[in-house]
């Protein structure tokens, strides 16, 4: 299976950003991609860099809606699975959400970010309601895919839940800035998660200079052994392509050993 990570900048013009994303989707498909993923809030500026002083629901879209409609049509045309990330409006709330669209254009479901941070330039609690969709794994045309949206990747219990549900690939839509983590700590975190849980991780990061933040790009893919097998550049928009052999998940240490030797009867209550 070939995955493509779309690392693109975002202006204040949603239509232009969407057009860029669709063009990159086509480019990836022409290069043989079976699954395409986008970074966090890929088609908008990163709203949470500012405090929300008024109601922000007008910035969000329903699912289905104009954005997902465009990708549903394109996914069906190209026969390629796509994982988006967007600011969703639904049921009187707004969420940080990743719809997953199968190769036939069907929306398989949506993952909403569960854990919501709030600190300087990441005032996400002003924008996002904590997600209520859990940690679903989707049966796509090319494999079993889970999503961990940005901050959720810091929670080992969330990453393990995706593994126990049978994920072969976990897509991480990310909004990470230049030099946010010392000594490549966030990369090490994903390498360990891939190893401990026996799946591939495709972390797709934002890129570009915005009013208060500079997003670094540097998207990457880890294999179930914890090795980085593909990496995008720093500070540049590009499409990162990577071949994945999903059969590696079945022979990973996690699937052969770690899962079998778990003792949730002893420590399950610690996770509540």
The pLDDT of residue 120 is 96
Instruction: Give the distance from CA 26 to its chain's centroid.
Output: 19
CATH of domain 2-271: 3.60.110.10
**169 is written with which tokens?**
């690939």
pLDDT attached to residue 272: 62
- Tally of residues, the chain: 272
Beta bridge partners of 146: 137, 170
What region, left, alpha or beta, does residue 67 occupy, with left being phi > 0 and alpha being psi -120 to 50 degrees?
A: alpha
pTM here is 0.97
The pLDDT tens digits along the chain (272 residues) read 999 999 999 999 999 999 999 999 999 999 999 999 999 999 999 999 999 999 999 999 999 999 999 999 999 999 999 999 999 999 999 999 999 999 999 999 999 999 999 999 999 999 999 999 999 999 999 999 999 999 999 999 999 999 999 999 999 999 999 987 666 888 999 999 999 999 999 999 999 999 999 999 999 999 999 999 999 999 999 999 999 999 999 999 999 999 999 999 898 777 66
Interatomic CA distance for residues 267 and 183, integer angstroms: 32
| Residue 235 pLDDT | 95
How far apart are alpha carbons 33 and 49 in whole angstroms?
32
Per-residue pLDDT at 271: 66
Which tokens belong to 53?
């002083």
Q: Where are the domains of the chain?
A: 2-271
The pLDDT, as a whole number, for residue 51 is 97
Structure tokens at 45: 């500026």
User: What Å distances lie between residue 77 and 91, 186, 271, CA to CA?
Assistant: 31, 36, 43
- Which 3-state string (H, E, C) describes the chain? CEEEEEECCCCCCHHHHHHHHHHHHHHHHHCCCCEEEECCCCCCCCHHHCCCCCCCHHHCECCCCHHHHHHHHHHHHHCCEEECCEEEEECCEEEEEEEEECCCCCEEEEEECCCCCCECCECHHHCCCCCCCCCCEEEECCEEEEECCHHHHHCHHHHHHHHHCCCCEEEEEECCECCCCHHHHHHHHHHHHHHHHCCEEEEEECEEECCCCEEEECCEEECCCCCEEEECCECCCEEEEEECCHHHHHHCHHHHHHCCCCCHHHHHHHHC
């Amino acid at each position: 299976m070939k995955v493509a990570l779309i690392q693109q900048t975002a202006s204040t013009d949603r239509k232009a950003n969407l057009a860029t994303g669709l063009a990159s989707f086509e480019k990836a498909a022409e290069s043989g991609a079976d699954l395409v993923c986008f970074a966090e809030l890929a088609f908008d500026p990163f709203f949470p860099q500012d405090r929300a002083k008024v109601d922000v629901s007008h910035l969000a879209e329903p699912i289905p809606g104009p954005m997902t409609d465009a990708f549903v049509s394109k996914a069906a045309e190209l026969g390629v699975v796509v994982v988006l990330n967007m600011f969703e409006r639904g049921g009187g709330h707004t969420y940080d959400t990743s719809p997953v669209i199968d190769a036939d254009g069907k929306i398989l479901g949506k993952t909403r970010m569960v854990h919501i941070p709030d600190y300087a330039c990441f005032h996400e609690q002003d924008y996002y309601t904590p997600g209520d969709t859990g940690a679903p794994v989707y049966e796509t045309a090319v494999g079993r895919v889970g999503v961990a949206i940005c901050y959720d990747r810091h929670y080992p219990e969330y990453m393990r839940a995706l593994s126990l549900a049978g994920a072969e690939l976990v897509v991480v839509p990310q909004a990470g800035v230049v030099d946010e983590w010392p000594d490549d700590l966030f990369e090490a975190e994903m390498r360990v998660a891939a190893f401990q849980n026996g799946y591939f991780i495709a972390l797709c990061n934002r890129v570009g200079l915005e009013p208060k933040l500079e997003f670094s790009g540097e998207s990457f893919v880890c294999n179930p052994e914890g090795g980085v097998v593909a990496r995008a550049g720093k500070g540049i928009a590009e499409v990162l392509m990577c071949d994945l052999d999903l059969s590696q998940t079945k022979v990973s240490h996690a699937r052969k050993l770690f899962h079998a030797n778990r003792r949730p009867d002893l420590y399950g209550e610690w996770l509540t």
